[in-house]
A and B are shown apart, each in its own frame.
Chain A
Amino acid sequence: MNKKQLTGAEIIWDCVAKEDVSVVFGYPGGAILPAYDALEKYRDKIHHVLVRHEQGATHMADGFARASGKVGVAMATSGPGATNMITGLATAMMDSIPIVCITGQVPSSVIGTDAFQEIDITGATLPVTKHNYLVMDINELASTIKEAFHVARSGRPGPVLIDIPKDIQNESIDYSYPEDLVELPGEVKSQGANEEQVKIFAEMLKASKRPFILAGHGVIMSEATSNLMKMSEKAQIPIGTTLLGIGGVPKSNPLVVGWMGMHGDSWVNQAIQKADLLIACGMRFDDRVTGNLKTYSPNSKKIHIEIDPSEINKNVRVDLPILGDLNEVLYQVLPHLDNEDHSTWFDQINEWKRESTSRDIIHQNTDTLMGAHVLRKIWEGTKGDALIVTDVGQHQMLEAQYYEHNDPRTLLTSGGLGTMGFSLPAGIGASFHEKEREVWIIVGDGSFQMTMTELGTAVQENRNINIAIINNGYLGLVRQWQEMFYDARYSETPIISPDYIKLADAYGIKAFRVKKLNDVLPTMRKVQEQKGPSLIEFVVEKQDMVYPMVPTGADLHEMIERPASTNNLKKTIREEESLV
């Protein structure tokens, strides 16, 4: 191997390019200047996207990683540049997204002196990263970057931060790329299922009359769709997904009965409660999907296939834990399963579905435009085949309810952390991977105003993204809680918006406002025909709520269903208007 003199800054780019990274999202500044200076030499390998705020850079890297399955990379300077990344790191941490954030640090000689723009970012990001590094020796720079990418993508993926002092970036050494595979002494590798576990799995399934599969984010990350569907088909087991599991299994397949949890399908929650066997696949029994743990699926045996051992028995006691890569485990288990028939069980679930569907807002005519109707139309208008990036709030829940996904990595959403402001930057990031599908960013008026500064990035990079703002003039989901649990005291949830059409115009973005259901599809067509970013503002009913709902801590089967008619809704609107 030929050695050549490289600076630390050049080593950063060389190592990043070797990790199959073609795009980096970042923002320059004092302590990272050497790296940005050296970037010029690596332009043929790496495209750099100048963001408007470092939080945006982390969400873009996150969106890129979710869409592509590769590691996303973000870069920032020390101090405020680095602290702005914390929300993005936490978002990626909670949803197990592999991103690597590289931050500049003040020169090593002044670390610890409160130098200008100095912050202990490895200390500050300890709880929001899978692991992090402060590189104090240029001889360890290349191996550290290589290790960081390995840590980010291996096992249960997660975000990693590398902090590199400015003098390390400036220093030069005789450099050759470390070709050796990364071996961490403490790494727990997937072991798959052992013979006994496979045997017990098959026996438990055979003994079950009402089995149910809980499909989580792990299905997508482990690329286990095909084997999971094979298992479901062979043993005729209905599948419900978590929010992040949506798309991991095709919604068009009748085996996939819906999604679970607080705003999930009531029949899925019913099925979980009545099941006699739960097969949890790459999910972590989050409080948003279990409701009250004491009454959660009380009569079922539970199998948990999971790559992270610390998730086993964390919230729900399981009978058969299998540690390992989901796809690998399913592959091992499949040959040992018999053909089964659970048609009575499916009939029961479909019966619950019929009962619930009759109340669905989607089948009701309303005077005002409803968020639910808009989401359904977006599904129609994109033939269910778009890459959807949502933000956090009512529109996010409506998306999960009314947009049916058939492919993995077509719904990107902040699940665990629930980060408002996620969608626009994540959608921009995802658009750097997605070349075929339309990219639609579904966002509420509250969420959009948190990171709309990234419109500048979308324009500068001429991204093909369609932004759909679901504007109800409220922080809708918070307002919903206030209405239900705080006696309708709407403390600080009414929120005004700028004129989004003028705002878009200022950026040179084509924009439309839609107030009627009949205008949804024609307006969508207008933006679908053109390249570059576009924006549609959907002005929707202010007071609508997301149904059904399991209140926090309530039993999963005790869902609040939508009231039988919308008359009550109209009445409260009138009352409110008379007050104004």
Chain B
Amino acid sequence: MKQTLITLVEDKPGVLNRIASLFRRRNFNIVSVVSGSSETPGIARLTIVVDEVDRSKRGTIYYNLLNLVNVIAVKDVSELPCITRQFILVKIEANTEKFNEIEYIVNNYGAKVVENSSESIIVEAADEKEILDQLVASLEPYNITEIMRTGKMSMRKGMTHNVSSDNTKSKLEKWQPEKINVYHN
């Protein structure tokens, strides 16, 4: 199983570069990064997926990430219950003849046709990786011309940590002990 890290960072120029540079120079295999704003202004939340199974190496990755000055907190959610999503856009050649079939597949996957013109059909979907893989396979016979998909986003189930806009610091301090113990027993 791959390692999934939810990471809070200061939203400053170059922070993504610092993370990418760390992974490159430490020879960690990055699979995907999804970055965007969080519920708190000035703080971004990332989902980073790493191809590493060895537990002690996972610890090294975790702590190296944590050591970056602009990284506020890291949570390894690889083995925790999470909602995970990827987003995909699939472009298919226009096909009036079989549009009904395509629409049936799309509806079946909870996906959506977001463009239907004389040239092309664009389908969007957000789901777990495996489901999206199946969707792509089902659409394969209709001549896919372009695929654009994001990496994985994860969110832990239940009430866990929040970086609320008020009182950010005290909430983060409660995080600290958790930072230390994950890999050390």
Contact = CB atoms under 8 A, between A and B. Distances in A.
A151 B69 contact: yes
Nearest to B21: A126
A335 interface: no
Contacts of A130: 69
Interface string B13-44: 01001100100010000000000000000000
B180 A309 contact: yes
A127 B63 contact: no
Contacts of B64: 310
A185 B10 contact: yes
A185 B72 contact: yes
Contact of A186 (B73, B177, B184): B73
A376 interface: no
A321 interface: yes
A314 B60 contact: yes
A139 interface: no
B145 interface: no
B99 interface: no
Contacts of A126: 17-18, 21
Interface residues of A, number: 25
Q: Which of B17, B67, B169, B176: most chain A Cβ within 10 A? A: B67
A406 to B, nearest CB: 34
Nearest to B71: A186
A131 interface: yes
Given A186-B10, A191-B180, A321-B184, A309 B63 contact: yes
Contacts of A186: 9-10, 66, 68-73
Contacts of B96: none
A188 interface: yes
Contact of A310 (B18, B25, B60): B60
A223 interface: no
A413 interface: no
A318 to B, nearest CB: 9
A207 B176 CA distance: 33
Contacts of A310: 60, 63-64, 66-67
B179 A127 contact: no
Most A C-beta atoms less than 10 A away, residue of B14, B56, B63, B69: B69
Contact of B60 (A127, A185, A313): A313
A498 interface: no
Given A185-B72, A188-B176, A309 B17 contact: no
B184 to A, nearest CB: 5
B7 to A, nearest CB: 10
Nearest to B42: A185
B65 to A, nearest CB: 9
Contact of A184 (B56, B63, B69, B176): B69
Contacts of A127: 21, 25
A308 B68 CA distance: 12
B9 to A, nearest CB: 8
A134 B15 CA distance: 12
B28 to A, nearest CB: 12
A317 interface: yes
A189 B176 CA distance: 9
B183 interface: yes
B172 interface: yes
A377 to B, nearest CB: 43
Contact of B56 (A185, A188, A317): A317
A86 interface: no
A312 interface: yes
Interface in B127-175: 168-169, 172
Interface string A304-327: 000011101110010001010000
Contact of B180 (A123, A314, A323): A323
Contacts of A321: 184
B59 to A, nearest CB: 6
A122 interface: yes
Contact of B69 (A123, A131, A189, A313): A131
Contacts of B179: 188
Contacts of B168: 185
Contacts of B73: 186
A330 B173 CA distance: 25
A189 B180 CA distance: 10
A209 B50 CA distance: 42
Interface in B72-107: 72-73
Nearest to A160: B69
A188 B66 contact: yes
A313 B66 contact: no
Contacts of A191: 177, 180
Contacts of A308: 63, 67
Interface string A177-214: 00000011111110100000000000000000000000
A185 B172 contact: yes
**Which of B63, B66, B168 has the most chain A CB atoms closer than 10 A to its own CB?**
B63
A308 B59 CA distance: 12
A122 B177 CA distance: 32
B154 to A, nearest CB: 20
A309 B21 contact: no
A313 to B, nearest CB: 4
A72 to B, nearest CB: 19
Interface string A295-311: 00000000000001110
A311 to B, nearest CB: 8
Contacts of A309: 63, 66-67, 180
A28 to B, nearest CB: 27
Interface in A110-165: 122-123, 126-127, 130-131, 134, 151
B43 to A, nearest CB: 8
Candidate in A131, A186, A308 with the most chain B CB atoms within 10 angstroms: A186
A131 B69 CA distance: 7
7 contacts: A126-B18, A134-B14, A186-B9, A308-B63, A310-B64, A312-B184, A313-B56
Interface of A: 122-123, 126-127, 130-131, 134, 151, 183-189, 191, 308-310, 312-314, 317, 321, 323
Given A123-B17, A185-B172, A313-B56, 14 more contacts: A126-B17, A127-B21, A131-B68, A186-B70, A186-B73, A188-B67, A310-B64, A312-B183, A312-B184, A313-B60, A313-B183, A313-B184, A317-B56, A323-B180
A-B CB proximity, top 3 nearest: A310-B63, A309-B63, A186-B72
